[in-house]
Amino acid sequence: MKNTVVTFREAKKKGEKLSMLTAYDYSTAKLIDEAGINAILVGDSLGNVILGYEDTLSVTMEDMIHHTAAVTRGAKNALVIADMPFMSYQASVYDAVVNAGRLIKEGHAQAVKLEGGVEACDRIKAIVQASIPVCAHIGLTPQSINVFGGHKVQGKGEEAAQKLLDAARAVEEAGAFALVMECVPAKLAEKITNTVGIPTIGIGAGAGCDGQVLVTNDMLGMFSDFTPKFVRRFAEIGEAMKDAFANYDREIREGGFPAPEHTYGIDDDIIEKLY
Ligand code: KIV
């Protein structure tokens, strides 16, 4: 059955956990969908794991639309949420609504995600008023990396913790249907989860959240430029890929590939007549 924002709302009411993974292409989206994951996030982490940038700041609307459209073609049942890239919503409410609309109309996502707490609420409200569901994202928000000065846990002191709790309440009030919390102490994330009525999706925020999200390339062991503490590798696909590539290379050199079963036949008569 298709997951929607209603599935998310119901899951919170029933205390059922939600699962989310990132995807950036058709084939991966199809596999994630077939595994029964509730939601696929087309994260702007594509800047790191697909495009090879050092951060997410260079990702464009065109990148996001291109990859979101590929993912939505592969996702039948998962709710597809597209990230709003840096500077697609920061400058004005108008930009926010127009760009959210493009991710729905051209990327065919069913919801968008944007980073920020209280300061993002006017954008969240306006996008929701345009009938586009919004997932908020607080805590470590990678688009603010230059303000944070690195990938650091957020909300550790009393003032910072209160600010995150206030942000969670504010984005719910603004109309967000869900809230991603990244790199937040587990007890604070649990307190926020028990305070708000919308589902919280944690990444580095402990088991007390209503759901979890990971970057697929991290959890598959396909991306090793940096590995945050919160990542668990559920497979070593990167090593399996390297082995397969080396095996392919060896088989070509040693004449083992292609074998007769991988080739197409032609009558010997025809070959003999050629001059
Ligand atoms: O871009 C992304 O993949 C994200 C997740 C880390 C939540 O925002």
CA–CA gap between residue 105 and residue 225 (Å, rounded)? 34
> For position 74, what pLDDT does the model report?
98
Residues contacting 77, CB < 8 A, separation 6+: 1, 2, 3, 33, 36
Q: Please tell me the predicted confidence (pLDDT) of residue 151.
A: 87
- Ligand 1 pocket residue status of 114, Cβ below 6 Å: no
**Nearest protein CA to atom 3 of ligand 1, as residue:** 43
Q: Which two tokens stand for residue 247?
A: 């095996």
Tell me if the pTM is above 0.85.
yes
Helices (H) and strands (E) in the chain, counts: 12, 8
Q: Give yes or no for residue 180 CB within 6 A of ligand 1.
A: yes
Please tell me whether residue 49 adopts helix, strand or coil conformation.
Answer: helix
If you measure from the C-alpha of residue 58 to the centroid of ligand 1, how many angstroms do you get, rounded to a whole number?
A: 15
Are the C-beta atoms of residues 210 and 12 closer than 8 Å to each other? yes
Known catalytic residues are 182
Q: Where would I find the H helices in the chain?
A: 5-14, 26-34, 46-49, 61-74, 93-105, 121-129, 145-148, 158-174, 186-195, 216-219, 237-254, 268-273
Pairing of strands 200-203, 111-115: unpaired
Please, is 131 exposed, middle or buried when counting C-beta atoms within 10 Å of its C-beta (0-12, 13-18, 19+)? exposed
Atom 8, ligand 1: which residue's CA is nearest? Answer: 43
What does the pLDDT profile of the chain (275 residues) look like in tens digits?
A: 999 999 999 999 999 999 999 999 999 999 999 999 999 999 999 999 999 999 999 999 999 999 999 999 999 999 999 999 999 999 999 999 999 999 999 999 999 999 999 999 999 999 999 999 999 999 999 999 999 998 899 999 999 999 999 999 999 999 999 999 999 999 999 999 999 999 999 999 999 999 999 999 999 999 989 889 999 999 999 999 999 999 999 999 999 999 999 999 999 999 999 99
Please say whether the beta carbons of 39 and 113 come within 8 A: no
**Does the beta carbon of 178 sit less than 6 angstroms from any atom of ligand 1?**
no
Give 260's strand partners: none
Q: What are 237-275's pLDDT values in tens digits?
A: 999 999 999 999 999 999 999 999 999 999 999 999 999
The per-residue pLDDT for 195 is 98
The protein residue with its alpha carbon nearest to ligand 1, atom 4, reads: 43
Q: Is 203 in the pocket of ligand 1 (CB under 6 A)?
A: yes
Beta bridge partners of 139: 182
